[in-house]
Chain A
Amino acid sequence: MKFSRAVRALLRSRSGFAGSVLVGLLVLSALVSLVWTPYDPTLARPQDSWLLPFSGGHVLGTDRLGRDELSQLLTGARSTLSTALLAAAIAAAVGLALAFAAVLTPRRLGAVVVQLTDVLIAFPVLLIAMILTAVHGGSTWTVVTAIGVGAGVNLARVARAEAGRVLGTDYVLAAHAAGSGTWRTVRKHLLPNIAPTLIVQLSLVLSVAVLAEAALSYLGFGTPAPAVSWGRMLQEQQQYVTARPLLVIWPGLAVAASVLGFNLLGDGLREATDARLRVREVAA
């Protein structure tokens, strides 16, 4: 019930609605591509190369190798979405672990964790990814790990501040006074109260991850062939941009729309979970 109320509040805000639609489209594309695409997205058919939109049954045309553009776009959503979700999961795990280690352990140890986090934050995500790829070779896992860890240390800082705030509240003190142990307090009081902030942050991690996956694939460090990725589509088509601009524009738009979608979703979630709005919403 609490959940459905949150969803309603989300859809009522303009950015929340737009974000949900864009993210919904991304998810839908990825799901549809699992069971159906107009053509095999990786099947090269030289006799069908450079087909214009709506010719020969190819709604968005074909590329130099005769691969169907729409099928590639749909399938590319899969890499984008799975990378983003896995990266967000890793970010959440890393972020929470570092944040809790900072606030729940004895002071001295906590201070070390805080410093470690700050040092890690100074490393740019893309650089971490490139180093990992240079050492291990490109793979989805490299990308996901790099983005996840990079975003996780940033998340740790936000989560630590938020956890510190909640741990300082009277209701946490009251819970302890009632005999609640540390882990019970974390589960029942700390996590629920930092969750709204975390969810907003994670939706921003998703947007960063989409962009990073596209950028890394574009640079050749990302999702390896034969998996289809929007970033690699961009890279493969860019030299023919003057001849067939649409072939570059579509994956570009897809990346932009996904990034925008997750960002708007984050804004919408922030509005929906904002304490004051929540009070009004429940009281109504």
Chain B
Amino acid sequence: MSLLKITDLSVRIGGTTVVDEVGLALDPGERLALIGESGSGKSLTALAVMGLLPGGAEVTGSIRLGGQELLGLGDRELSRLRGERMAMVFQEPMSALNPLMRIGKQLAEPLRLHRGLNRRQASTAAVELAAQVGLPDPELIVRSWPHQLSGGQRQRVGLAMALATRPALLIADEPTTALDVTVQADMLRLLDDLVQQHGTALLFISHDLAVVAQLCQRAAVLKDGRLVEEGTTDTLVRTPQHPYTQRLVEAARATGSEEVAR
């Protein structure tokens, strides 16, 4: 049975339909990429799954996680699932951490929320989490403030936070877009390793086909809120059907990506 099953998901904000009858399925431990240009509704789809759409958004359709319907759940039930069964990494490492809270406290927040760790246990766990994502000098890092970390380090913190409770589903919304190319590669490798290790299912949002080809077996293409094409990443890259996908492939070739050029 699918871990995540989205059927006929539509999101309307202020009268405009920004996500239009989207359907996706993800098995446990599987990786699915969601591709599309800016404004195509990738983030809103992800936020709909997390139940974090902005106030005033109307959602219809169905989102099932492990068989349980998420749409219509109360805030309390959703809070229990968020950070426990499903977690999310955000695009902007600079703004996704509270500037007035030490790294260690933020790292351990999901564990305190869902595992009831006390302060001392949480600070030990924070050091372990920091070490797991390869942050240098974890003891020091957990006592730092967010602004003392580089973008890549903050994004590692975000990833460690999201994976702290070993969720069944991880949604990564363009987690490397804001990073330098070299740091990007490290981050992707880390994501790859950790997801593999924990058997986490991954919904990976990106507009970069080259990155997607490295990481995901399957990909779905969104345009203007509609799903225009879906299949294995290989097929999508070799024989793109939809004109929009063809253009994406062209663009990736033009920038000289090996995986896509093959």
Binding site for A on B (CB under 8 A): 50, 52, 55-56, 75-76, 79-84, 87-88, 90, 92, 95-101, 109-110, 113-114, 145, 147-148, 158, 161-162
Contact = CB atoms under 8 A, between A and B. Distances in A.
A193 B96 CA distance: 14
Contact of A174 (B79, B96, B147): B96
A182 B78 CA distance: 12
B147 A107 contact: no
12 contacts: A107-B55, A170-B90, A170-B96, A173-B90, A174-B96, A174-B97, A174-B158, A175-B98, A177-B88, A179-B80, A181-B76, A192-B98
Contact of A177 (B80, B83, B97, B100): B83
A173 B171 CA distance: 14
Contacts of B83: 177-180
A180 B161 CA distance: 13
A178 B79 CA distance: 8
Interface in A86-113: 106-107
B114 to A, nearest CB: 6
Contacts of B101: 188-189, 192
A182 to B, nearest CB: 7
Interface residues of chain B: helix, strand, loop or mixed (majority): mixed
Contacts of A178: 82-83, 87, 109-110, 113, 161-162
A193 B99 CA distance: 8
B88 A283 contact: no
A283 B148 contact: yes
A175 B109 contact: yes
A240 interface: no
A193 B88 contact: no
Q: List the 3 closest A-B pairs by CB distance, nearest first.
A: A179-B83, A178-B83, A170-B95
A119 interface: no
Contacts of B97: 171, 174
A177 B98 CA distance: 14
A251 B158 CA distance: 57
B51 to A, nearest CB: 9
Contact of B75 (A106, A169, A181, A192): A181
Interface residues of A, number: 24
B109 A180 contact: yes
A243 interface: no
B90 A192 contact: no
Interface of A: 106-107, 169-171, 173-182, 184, 188-189, 192-193, 275, 279, 282-283
Contacts of B95: 169-171
Nearest to A282: B145
A192 B105 CA distance: 14
Contacts of B82: 176-179
A188 B148 CA distance: 20
A188 B158 CA distance: 17
A99 to B, nearest CB: 16
Nearest to B109: A178
A193 B100 contact: yes
Nearest to A180: B113
Given A170-B90, A179-B113, A189 B98 contact: yes
A188 B145 CA distance: 15
B153 to A, nearest CB: 15
A257 to B, nearest CB: 33
Max chain B C-beta neighbours (<10 A), residue from A173, A192, A279: A173
A176 B96 CA distance: 11
Nearest to B54: A168
| Most B-side CB within 10 Å, residue of A106, A170, A180, A188 | A170
Residue of A170, A178, A193 with most chain B CB atoms under a 10 A cut-off? A178
B157 to A, nearest CB: 10
Contacts of B92: 170
Contacts of A188: 98, 101
Contacts of B99: 171, 193, 275
Nearest to A174: B96
A106 B76 CA distance: 16
Given A107-B55, A174-B96, A188-B98, 18 more contacts: A169-B95, A170-B96, A171-B96, A171-B98, A173-B52, A173-B96, A177-B52, A177-B88, A178-B109, A179-B80, A179-B114, A180-B79, A184-B113, A189-B98, A189-B101, A192-B98, A193-B98, A282-B148
